């Protein structure tokens, strides 16, 4: 199989969508001449022209609103926001318009827009460029929230997202853009409904998503060297949650640890654990646990940034504690 990167897989996903559907276009800051803040759209302007690769002013409120209007007008826009922190400037059109339009119109209209944004820490860009606000969006009815963490999902999630009748938020962890590996050609089909088991195991379940998936897999490898076989479940669809896959795994392993880069309070980790407790309490051999980001603005200094994130050593320690003495 040919080798590629997460960034290149995303670029090919855009190229395929632009070729398959003339209604699809990309808009955002620096997506055209510059090739995208993370080089995802590099070369697409020359290939598809300014009508379909549109550089926008530096105004998230303005261009996200324009994307929503284009979707209501029958187009299929992909709106790129440079980083999740900047998406807060566009919360009103996303939450109060896009997410609610089907409900407010009595089911007559949807907003088929895909909003992409980078998320997460690990690059020493300090607090205003490094937070993980995925749980905020996963809280909102009317949105579908995706977090591709593999080459296959980076390549395959965009097209089904564009077919959805309502808004889709697509989170790309910035540390994943350079992820390299093999990807089948043609790539496998990907659904945007279900979680995925990334590693099978018998002793405990590690549940995670996005940029924490590689760390959870690294921790699972370290645990295996100690004789502890961890099953790793990649949520990848943050709203609606696929709890059936999580509960099936917990039913096999009888222990669960959720790993999330976002803050602990009000996070998805707590939601997953609450649902496990509600639906599988008597399947558990140990109290469910979580490893989350420290509840601080993300530090700039590298050693402090790493201390604030759920790194493999913390995951391994929490997993050992779940296994008991």
Question: Do the Cβ atoms of 276 and 288 come closer than 8 Å?
Answer: yes
Q: What are phi and psi of 127, to 5 degrees?
A: -65, -40
Note if the bond before 186 is cis, omega within 30 degrees. yes
**196-199 β-sheet, strand order:** 196-199, 230-234, 204-208, 256-263, 289-293
Q: Which of 129, 231, 260, 305 is catalytic?
A: 129
Instruction: Work out whether strand 204-208 and strand 256-263 pair parallel, antiparallel, or are unpaired.
Output: parallel
Output the six-digit token pair for 227: 């004789």
305 given a catalytic annotation: no
Rounded distance between C-alpha atoms, residue 88 and residue 94, angstroms: 10
Q: Which of 8, 29, 60, 305 is catalytic?
A: 60
To 10 degrees, the CA torsion angle through 286, 291, 292, 295?
90
Rounded distance between C-alpha atoms, residue 61 and residue 59, angstroms: 5
Rounded distance between C-alpha atoms, residue 139 and residue 187, angstroms: 31
To 10 degrees, the CA torsion angle through 307, 310, 315, 317?
20
173 given a catalytic annotation: no
One DSSP character per residue, 122-189 reads SSS--GGGT---HHHHHTSTT-EEE---SHHHHHHSHHHHHH-SS-EEEEEEGGGTT-EEE--SSPPP
To 10 degrees, the CA torsion angle through 26, 185, 207, 275?
70
Rounded distance between C-alpha atoms, residue 171 and residue 205, angstroms: 23
Q: Which residues are catalytic?
A: 60, 129
């Amino acid at each position: 199989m040919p080798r590629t990167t997460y960034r290149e897989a995303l670029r090919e996903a855009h190229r395929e969508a632009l070729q398959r559907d003339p209604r699809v276009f990309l808009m955002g800051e620096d997506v055209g001449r510059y090739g995208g803040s993370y080089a995802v759209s590099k070369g697409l302007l020359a290939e598809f022209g300014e009508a379909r690769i549109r550089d926008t002013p530096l105004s998230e409120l303005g261009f996200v609103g324009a994307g929503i209007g284009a979707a209501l007008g029958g187009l299929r826009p992909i709106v790129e926001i440079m980083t999740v922190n900047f998406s807060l400037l566009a919360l009103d059109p996303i939450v109060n318009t896009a997410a609610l339009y089907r409900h407010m119109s009595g089911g007559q209209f949807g907003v088929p827009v895909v909003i992409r944004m980078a998320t997460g820490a690990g690059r020493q860009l300090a607090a205003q460029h490094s937070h993980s606000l995925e749980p905020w969006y996963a809280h909102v009815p009317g949105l579908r929230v995706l977090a591709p963490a593999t080459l296959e999902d980076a390549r395959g999630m965009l097209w089904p997202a564009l077919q959805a009748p309502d808004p889709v938020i697509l989170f790309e962890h910035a540390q994943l853009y350079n992820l390299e590996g093999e990807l089948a050609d043609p790539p496998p089909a990907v659904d945007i409904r279900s979680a995925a088991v990334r590693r099978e195991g018998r002793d405990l379940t590690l549940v995670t998503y996005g940029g924490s998936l590689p760390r959870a897999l690294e921790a699972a490898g370290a645990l295996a060297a100690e004789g502890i076989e961890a099953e790793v479940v990649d949520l990848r669809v943050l709203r609606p949650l696929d709890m059936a896959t999580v509960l099936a795994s917990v039913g096999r392993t009888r222990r669960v640890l959720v790993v999330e880069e976002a803050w602990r309070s009000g996070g998805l980790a707590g939601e997953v654990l609450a649902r496990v407790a509600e639906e599988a309490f008597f399947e558990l051999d140990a109290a469910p646990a979580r490893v989350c980001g420290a509840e601080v603005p993300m530090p700039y200094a590298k050693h402090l940034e790493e201390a604030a994130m759920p790194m493999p050593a913390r995951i391994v320690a929490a997993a050992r504690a779940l296994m008991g003495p």
